[in-house]
Amino acid sequence: MTVRVIQDLDPASWDAFVQAHPEATSYHLCAWRRVIEESFGHCGHYLAALDGAGQVAGVLPLVHMKSRLFGNFLVSMPFMNYGGLLLANQEAQVPLLEAADRLRRDLGADYVELRHLDFEVPGLATRRHKVTMMLRLATDVESQWAALHFKLRNHIRKAQKNGLTAVFGGVELLDGFYDVFAHNMRDLGTPVYARSFFHNVLTTLPESTRLFAVRHQGMIIAAGLVSRHRDTLEIPWSSSLVQYRPLCANNLLYWEAISWAISEGCSYFDFGRSTPDEGTFNFKKQWGAVPVPLAWQYLMPKDARLPDLGPKSPKYQAAIRVWKRLPVRITRILGPAIVRNIP
């Protein structure tokens, strides 16, 4: 089979291929290119492989990121958990990888990072440091409740007895969500995304994204943004205010999101990316979620070292300690300019 690779296939043909592919994720859709370009200013390079009949045989969405502090690289997909190659047949794999590596050299980039879910290209340099936590949902809320450990059910009941209430909606909840998110990111020592990023997500993908929030005496104290793709509801961003955690707001937040997913006919709840055996991993595991391996794979020069932009890298520890001491209002000003270059 003769396969040729082109850049910037028309969005309708691209999305038609993604929507028909059983292993596609939401992040393969063209809408996320618009979100990233409008929110962060990074250029998307979307590669499509066409067979001899002109039919799409594979796609690879790439985003170019370049800064003095964090380097020059291409990612599929930055800021998200998934991306990477999406193939209708194996003949498309090599031409797409070759085209991606040519693009890397043309842009002077150090590497291409492919974020694969439960898939690996043999022979590529790979990091397997993360998993996603996936919960197979019951067909009704009552059965899901019965499957929870009694301690978890008690935490949810405690939140309800403490007068916490859950709501869900769209951009009308964004200010409350962002206040909680910004506080939580500061406490973690992590620069915060701009509010406009989440606004762009909600307005670009209004049919598949929602905000969930938990209120205490009228104030939002925990919140999450969920994204639906086919039969899976994912919660890629969620936070709670640390001073209210004894009220079990986080437990109520996740329970309400899971209940809503079941009511909407979803079969899976994706808790998002975690490091095995750390705190967030164990929190997600208690709900019955199981780890699904993530493989971050790299196209780079032969003797190059695997990149590490994670917060545990020793070179970032001092900056994290300083960041945790900054006022939240300052982190909301400085954070977006920094985090836009951290994939």
Average pLDDT, the chain: 95
Structure tokens at 183: 């506080």
Look at residue 304 and tell me whether its pLDDT is greater than 90.
Answer: no
138-266 carries CATH number 1.10.10.10: no
138-266 and 4-131+295-307 share a CATH fold: yes
Res 203 pLDDT > 70:
yes
Q: Cα–Cα distance between 281 and 275 in angstroms, integer?
A: 6
Name which of 86-90, 181-185, 239-243, 301-305 the model is least confident about.
Answer: 301-305
CB neighbour class for 123 (10 Å; exposed up to 12, middle 13-18, buried from 19): exposed
Could you please state the CATH topology (level 3) that the domain comprising 4-131+295-307 is classified under: Aminopeptidase (3.40.630)
Whole-structure pTM value = 0.94
Long-range contact list for 88-94, CB < 8 A, 24+ apart?
A: 88/17, 88/21, 88/56, 88/57, 88/58, 89/1, 89/57, 89/58, 91/1, 91/3, 91/51, 91/57, 92/3, 92/49, 92/51, 92/57, 92/58, 93/58, 93/121
| Confidence (pLDDT) at 59 | 97
**pLDDT (0 to 100) of residue 3:** 77
With a cut of 80, say whether residue 1 has pLDDT above it.
no
Q: What are the backbone angles phi and psi of residue 269, rounded to the nearest 5°?
A: -120, 120
In this structure, the number of other CB atoms found within 10 A of the CB of residue 141 comes to: 16
For the stretch 164-186, pLDDT in tens is 999 999 999 999 999 999 999 99
Domain definitions of the chain by residue range: 4-131+295-307, 138-266
pLDDT given for residue 315 in this prediction: 67
Radius of gyration of the chain (CA): 21
